[in-house]
Amino acid sequence: MKTSTVFMIVCTSLAVTVGIGAAESVANGDVPAELDEAGDAFTFVRIQYNTTAGEWDDGEDWGGWQTWAVDFPAADQNLLRGVRRLTNIHVNKEPIVLQLNDDRIFEYPFLYMLEVGRNGGLQLTPKEIHNLREYLLRGGFLFIDDFWGTWQWDNFYRTFSKVFPDKPIVQLDNDHQIFHCYYDIDGPQMIPRVSNPENYPEQDVDVAINRAVLDDDGRVMVLINWNSDIGDGWEHTYHPMYPTQYANMAYRLGINYLIYALTH
């Protein structure tokens, strides 16, 4: 990111009353429009990527490279509404989409990717690998969401390990600061997709796990949300069949991750 980019963040008060769920709070009231006009407003960036294609774990045709667009734009827009409602962070109401080979990624502190284990996994060009590594080492943050089980993990890791072959991917403990920097959360949480309100495991792993790539100072550069679908919690905030408890938790987790990214 550009070293001159500064985000003014005030994290001293919540815009939600104790006992009121995040999803309910997002639905009540608006934030003054002038927040969206601030020059230092946060912009949510979703990453468009290619996959190797030709491999399916469940017989479901996700459209190859279009897996990057799952839940878009509703999930991104709803999260931004939540950030506006529940924090004092200035935001742009609309997300944007960029590819990793686009040097504009360096202008933004937070990137989002999902579904990185389907269709044989990610396919990254040398330029994309170089840009992503440089972006993260300069202080950027990448949040990876919504992929399940060891098969999808192996697909993802096969390519992503090329970004930092010199750094391990570690598992975050429940007491890591990222779970306690705004909301106090007891570690990773398994958030279901909309068609699974009972929250049954999607694949062969039955718990949510957060893994990460850390820089030399211990800062989380890449947060990997494995066996959980936070994006569906954002997207389906208002879906009558989606359990409110999971939508609430999806907002809390997303806001924690964002605040950590903007303050570390």
- Is 235 a domain residue? yes
**Separation CA 237–CA 231 (nearest Å):** 10
Position 51 scores a pLDDT of 82
Backbone angles phi, psi at 141, to 5 degrees: -135, 130
Q: Are the C-beta atoms of 145 and 230 separated by less than 8 Å?
A: yes
**Separation CA 60–CA 143 (nearest Å):** 25
Stated as kind and residue range, the H or E segment containing 19 is none
The CATH number that applies at residue 196 is 3.40.50.12140
Pairing of strands 96-99, 45-48: parallel
Position 234 scores a pLDDT of 98
- Is 76 a domain residue? yes
Q: Are the C-beta atoms of 235 and 75 separated by less than 8 Å?
A: yes
Intervals of the chain under pLDDT 70: 1-39, 52-65
Q: Are the C-beta atoms of 71 and 235 separated by less than 8 Å?
A: yes
Position 40 scores a pLDDT of 75
Residue 124 contacts by C-beta under 8 Å, 6 or more apart in sequence?
Answer: 49, 100, 132, 159, 160, 162, 163
Give the position of tokens 């208002």. Answer: 238
- Is 206 a domain residue? yes
Domain count, the chain: 1
Position 23 scores a pLDDT of 41
- Is 19 a domain residue? no
Q: How far is CA 69 from the centre of its chain?
A: 13
**Separation CA 230–CA 247 (nearest Å):** 8
- Is 159 a domain residue? yes
Q: Residue 175: which domain range?
A: 30-263
41 C-beta neighbours (distance < 10 Å), count: 17
CA dist list (Å): 57 to 100, 113, 116, 120, 151: 26, 19, 13, 9, 8
**C-alpha closest to that of 206 among 130, 149, 157:** 149
21 three-class SS: coil
- Is 189 a domain residue? yes
- Is 4 a domain residue? no
- Is 11 a domain residue? no
Give the position of tokens 């990222």. Answer: 178
